[in-house]
Structure 1
Amino acid sequence: MKAFTVTAPGSYGLVESAVPMPGPGELLVAPAAVGICGSDLELLDGRRPAPYVRYPVVPGHEWSGTVVSVGPGVTGFEPGTPLVAEGVRGCATCPRCREGRGNLCAGPYAETGFTHPGALAERLVVPAALAYRLPSDRPLAPAALLEPAGCVASGLLELGVPAAGSRIAVVGDGPLGLLAVMLSALSSPQRLTLVGRRPERIRYAATCGATDATNDPDAAGLASSFDLVIEASNAAAGAVTALRLARRGGSVLLLGISGAAAPAVDPDLISLGQLRVQGAFAASAAAWRWMVSLYSAGLFDPSPLITHQFPLTEVKQGLAVLADRGSGALKVLIQPEPELA
C-alpha cells in the first residue's frame, strides 16, 4: 500500500509499505478522508514536543473511513461499515482511563498519527474498542472533522454545556475556533461573537452560527460581558483576551496550546473576577459519543469549513496549501479512498 511517512523531521514522502493485518480486537480500515492541521506541520519539521511523537510515523489523526476486515474477537463491525475512532490510545487501567477520560491517560502518550501509524495511508489499523459506527446515509468526508470538534466538545462537557440564552464569545478564527462557534450555536445563545484576526476567516462567522464578529477584541461593549469565552487561538495573547471578555463569575475554556515559555495571564483577572477557567486536551470518550450522535442525527455539519481536497499522491501540495497564509485554506482534506468519501 501507499503511505505518507515521516521518517524524521524534514524527511518525508509517499512510500510503499506492507498492508497491516488487524490483530485481536482490531479493525483494518480504508481511510476515506483525512484532515491535516498545524500539529501535522509541527510533526514534519520537528516542532512537536518529543514525548508526543515517535518517528518514523505515518501522520493522520483526523479521519473517517470504512472497515475492510476485522480481527479475531471483534463484534459489531463488518466490512463496509463507515466509522471514526478515538485517536488517543489510553492504557485503560489508570484512574483517568477508568473515569472514561482516556484523553488524560497517565500512561505513556499514545495517539494515532503521532506515536502509532495514522490515516495518511491506504490502510489503517485501529482498536475496535475506540471505534464508532456512522450511519450509511451521512457523507463520510466531513466526519473527519469530528476529531477536532470533539476537542471542543470535551471542554464544553467539563464546564457544562451552555444554557440557552447565554452570551458566548469565541477567540480565534481558525478551524478549531469556527468549530467552537458551530457547537456553541447549538445551545441557542443570546449572543455568539467571533473574535478573530483574518477577514477572510471572519466571514465564515455567520455561516457557522455567530450573531456577530470582530477583529478588535478591545471594541466597546465586549469587555467583561460574556458568560462563556472559548479561546482557540493557539496564542498566549488569546488567553489574555479571553479572560478580559468574560463577565465576573463567568467561565473561560482554553483550547489553544500557545507554546509560550513564560506566563502571559494576570492571575488577578481570575481571582478578582471569580472566573472559572477550564483547560481541555484532546477528546474524551463522552465527547466522541456526543459528536458522533450530533453528526449522525444531522445536527452538526462541519462541511462548510472544508476548503481544499487532495488525493493521497498530493499530500505535499495539501500541506503547502495549509502552511500558506494566503491560500484561504481552512480545513484541508486528503482522500486516500476518494470514492468512499
Structure 2
Amino acid sequence: MITPLQRDSATVSLSDQTKMKAAVLTGPGTIAIKEVQVPEPGEGQIRVRLTGCGVCASNLGPWSGPEWMKFPTEPGGLGHEGWGVVDAVGPGVTGFEPGQAVTALFQNSYAEFDVGDATQAVPLPQELAHMPLPGEPLGCAMNIFRRADIKAGQTVVIVGIGFLGAILTRLATQAGADVIAVSRRPYALDMARQMGAAHTIPMDDRHAIIDKVSALTGGSFCERVIEATGKAWPLDLAGELTAEGGRLIVAGYHQDGPRQINMQLWNWRGIDVVNAHERNPAIYIRGMREAIDAVMSGRLDPMPLITDMFPLSRLDDALNTTRDRPDGFMKAVVRMP
C-alpha cells in the first residue's frame, strides 16, 4: 500500500519498462516508428500506458508539411486524444492510482506511453474501460453544445457531418430541436439520420441548400447554425442559413488562411457569432467529464462513429484516411502495440 506521505516524494509505477514505441513525423506525409525512452512523470504528473489515440482533423495541417511545420516531431507528437491505463503516478498526485482507466488531454499520445499533468486526465468508469474512448473530441462536442445554447423548439442546421457534427446532431435532437443536417457524403447523411436529424440535405449546390432550408422554415431560416467543416464556403453558407437574431456557432477548425465573410448580411440580420473553440484546459476537462457522464447514461454512444482502426505502425494510413474520408468513414483511431 502506498500512503499519501510516500507519494509526496516518490513515483509509484506499475511497470519497469524503459523503452517504448512512438510515432515520429519525419516530413510531409511520412512517419517512422522509433524506439525511445519511456517518459518519467514529474511533480503533479501521471504516466499513461496508452491503449489508443483518436486521429484529429487538426493533425492534417501539420501532416501536409506547411512552411511553419518543424520536422521531426517529438515522439508521439500531435496525438492528443489518448486513453489507457495509469502506469505511474508522480510525486504530489492524488486521485489517481496505477491500473486506473483514464482518458487524457496529453499532447504526445501517438506512442505506447505519454505523461502529463494529472489535472489533464479524467478517470473512466469500469464499465467504459474496454471501449475506445477519445475523450478530447467528445469533450469538444459537449463544450460546443453548451456554447450553442440550443433549446427545445428551435430549428438547428449543422453544416458538416463528421464525428463532431454527428454527436452535435444527437445532442441537439435530445434537447428538443428540429435538426437539419448538411453534408457532402451520403454516408454522413445516413449517420445524421441515425443520430436524429429530421432533415438531410446534400452539400453540393449552395443555392439549392438555401432554398431548401428556407422552405423548411417558412423563409425565416434557423435560430442556430453550427458550422463544422473548417472550410471557407460552408462558413459563408452557414451565415446565409442563420435567422435574424440567430446564433452562428463556428465549430470548424479554420487554420488554412484568412476567411472572407458577408459582414453586410451578418450585420443586417443581427447574428450572434460564437467561436466555439476552447483554450482553457479546465473547460476542456469539464467537457470531457460531461461526455463521460453522457456515455454512461446512454445519451451518447460514440461506438458507431469510430469506423476505422489502425495499428500505430500505420498512423500514416490513419491520417490519410482522415484526410480523404472514403465512403463509410467517420472517425479513425490508432491502437497501440
TM-score by length of 2: 0.82
**1:289 alignment counterpart:** 289
Deviation at 1:61, TM superposition (A): 1.1
State how far apart, in whole Å, the 2-side matches of 1:2 and 1:62 are.
17
Which residue number in structure 1 is paired with residue 248 of structure 2?
252
Task: Name the residue aligned to 2:210.
Answer: 218
**Cα deviation digits, residues 137-190 of structure 1 (max 9, x gap):** 12544421x312322322332343x1222211100122222222122223121x
Query: Higher RCO, 1 or 2 (CA under 8 Å, sep at least 6)?
Result: 1
User: Residues of 1 paired with 2:22 and 2:258: CA distance?
Assistant: 39
What is aligned with 1:277?
273
Equivalent pair of 1:254/1:279 in contact (CA under 8 Å): yes
Q: Partners in 2 of 1:44 and 1:332 — Cα distance?
A: 15
Change (3 A) 1:23 1:262: closer
Q: Which residue in the other structure is 2:73 paired with?
A: 55
CA distance in 2, matches of 1:250, 1:133: 37
Measure, in 2, the Cα distance between the counterparts of 1:261 and 1:120. 27
**Aligned in 2, Cα 1:276/1:140: closer, same or farther, shift over 3 Å?**
farther
CA contact (8 A) 2:24 2:73 kept: no
Structure 1 residues 329 and 245, CA, compared in 2 at 3 Å: closer, same or farther?
Answer: same
Structure 1 position 199, deviation (Å): 1.3
CA distance in structure 1 between the partners assigned to 2:44 and 2:298 by the alignment? 30
Off by >6 Å, runs of 4+ in structure 1: none
2:124 is the counterpart of 1:134:
yes
Contact 1:240–1:265 (CA under 8 A) maintained in structure 2: yes
Deviation at residue 276 of structure 1 after TM alignment: 0.8
Report what 1:123 is aligned to.
Answer: 113
**1:262-310 deviations in whole A, cap 9, x for unaligned?**
5421112222111111002246243233223223333221111111112
The answer as to whether partners of 1:65 and 1:140 remain within 8 angstroms in 2 is no
Partner Cα separation in structure 1 for residue 249 and residue 328 of structure 2: 27
Q: CA shift at 1:204, angstroms?
A: 0.7
Corresponding residue for 2:164? Answer: 176
What is the identity, as a one-letter code, of the residue corresponding to 2:87? V
**Percentage identity across aligned positions?**
31
Matches of 1:18 and 1:323, distance apart in 2: 31
> In 2 relative to 1, CA 270–140 (structure 1 residues): closer, same or farther, beyond 3 Å?
farther
C-alpha RMSD of the superposition:
2.4
CA distance in 2, matches of 1:86, 1:262: 28
Post-superposition shift, 1:327? 5.0
Contact 1:32 1:141 in 2 (8 A): no
1:67 aligns with 2:86: yes
Aligned residues: 304
Alignment of 1:1-341 (within 5 A): 1-47=20-66, 55-58=73-76, 59-87=78-106, 112=107, 118-144=108-134, 146-160=135-149, 162-189=150-177, 191-215=178-202, 216-220=208-212, 221-222=215-216, 224-259=220-255, 261-282=257-278, 284-285=283-284, 286-336=286-336
Aligned 8 A contact 1:8 1:56 in 2: no
Q: Provide structure 2 residue ranges, at least 5 long, that are not aligned to the other structure.
A: 1-19, 203-207
Taking structure 1 as the reference length, the TM-score comes to 0.81
